[in-house]
Chain A
């Protein structure tokens, strides 16, 4: 697999941030109807995604990039689909499921495990399109 480029890392950073923003918008928009537990669950995912975005910025800036390719385009596609779904969904359970899958994908990328990346990309797509 080709190495993850600085541009790939930057694009992934934006995807994670956008998804974190979309989940945050959902949480604030539905603040009064969400339970305390749901708000907390969503917020935890938002921070995890925002920190994954910062990790990608660090990688983009980094002078060493020898990680195996995260099939960056595929991952970006999954994150974009998830963001689009979160923007239109009204059901909090689904949003939490998508957010959890997206956090799993971020962790898989951090672990540099191509198998886990592929599996979690699919999980995000499944959660966003089911």
Chain B
């Protein structure tokens, strides 16, 4: 009876397999998973928000005489926020599209693609090479949507974008690893000046003990921020290396050894992303 009971189920699986083979689609599950994890991890925006808010946090430590300077810095950094997030948005949208094509789905039109395209035209990048790369990736994304690309165009997508994609991700890695790190080093020094000054002036033992506890709390927050910077840099670098692996293996994407290797990148991404989420 049991055997008879499983008949329809087995027939369904056999039919699904036949349909899959007949459609000419390869099973690119590992690539879909890599793309989806990359998309999720890339959109971690807390570091950008923290960078923009640094001058506001510095007000805790700095004397009133520096207030006007800090207010100006707040305004300048707020003006940078949207364009900083744009790089992350591009990586996220691109990885979404890559995952959809790997799953033989139509890439979903997102209104933000227009915004990305316009921003690519309007934004003045420090590096003209990055501006060109940003525009190139967003152009391919728009093309994938408007020309209704499917899995057959996956190789083309990877081929056309790997070069500019590496430039865009590389630029973001530099911002995170060097510039956000420099920013947090300044905050650490501000904390040091503030608390060391108070400790030098303090006479009351209980007050000094409370001060030491506060200092420890603030230092812990900065340390968490530094760990986040390191982990997000790992996320970005893993996305870049994984994508380049896809580019190198683009004609053999369905091979088990390629899928196994891509799976390793996904695993590394998840580890770094989970560490970020735990902060």
Chain A residues in the interface with B (C-beta under 8 A) = 5-6, 10, 13-14, 17, 20-21, 24, 28, 31, 43-44, 46-48, 50-51, 53-55, 57-58, 60-65
Q: Which of B58, B175, B197 has a CB less than 8 Å from the CB of A54?
A: B58
List A contacts of B4 (CB < 8 A): none
Is there contact, CB below 8 Å, between A21 and B189? yes
List A contacts of B275 (CB < 8 A): none
* With A28-B200, A61-B80, A61-B179 as contacts: A44 and B63 at CB distance below 8 Å: yes
Chain A to chain B: the 6 pairs with minimum beta-carbon distance, closest first: A64-B124, A61-B179, A51-B69, A60-B179, A57-B183, A47-B66
Q: Is the interface of B mostly helix, strand, loop or mixed?
A: helix
In the bound complex, what is the Cα–Cα distance between A118 and B267 (angstroms)?
53
Is there contact, CB below 8 Å, between B182 and A60? yes
With both chains docked as a complex, state the minimum distance between the C-beta of B199 and any C-beta of chain A, in angstroms.
9
List B contacts of A51 (CB < 8 A): 58, 62, 66, 69-70, 73
In the bound complex, what is the Cα–Cα distance between A48 and B51 (angstroms)?
19
B125 within 8 A of A: yes
Q: List 30 A-B contacts (CB under 8 A).
A: A6-B174, A10-B179, A10-B182, A13-B186, A14-B182, A21-B189, A24-B196, A28-B197, A43-B193, A46-B193, A47-B63, A47-B193, A48-B69, A50-B186, A51-B62, A51-B69, A53-B182, A54-B55, A54-B73, A54-B183, A54-B186, A57-B179, A57-B182, A57-B186, A58-B77, A58-B80, A61-B51, A61-B175, A63-B124, A63-B126
List A contacts of B124 (CB < 8 A): 63-64
> Would you give the 0/1 interface string for B110-134, flagging 1 where the beta carbon is closer than 8 Å to chain A?
0000000000000111110000000
Residue of B63, B124, B178 contacting most chain A CB atoms (<10 Å): B178
With both chains docked as a complex, state the minimum distance between the C-beta of A64 and any C-beta of chain B, in angstroms.
4
* With A57-B179, A61-B179, A62-B126 as contacts: A50 and B189 at CB distance below 8 Å: yes
Nearest CB in chain B to that of A32: its residue: B200
Residue of A55, A58, A61 contacting most chain B CB atoms (<10 Å): A61
List A contacts of B174 (CB < 8 A): 6
Q: Which of B80, B175, B197 has a CB less than 8 Å from the CB of A43?
A: B197
* With A14-B182, A43-B193 as contacts: A63 and B58 at CB distance below 8 Å: no
Is there contact, CB below 8 Å, between A44 and B65? yes
B83 within 8 A of A: yes
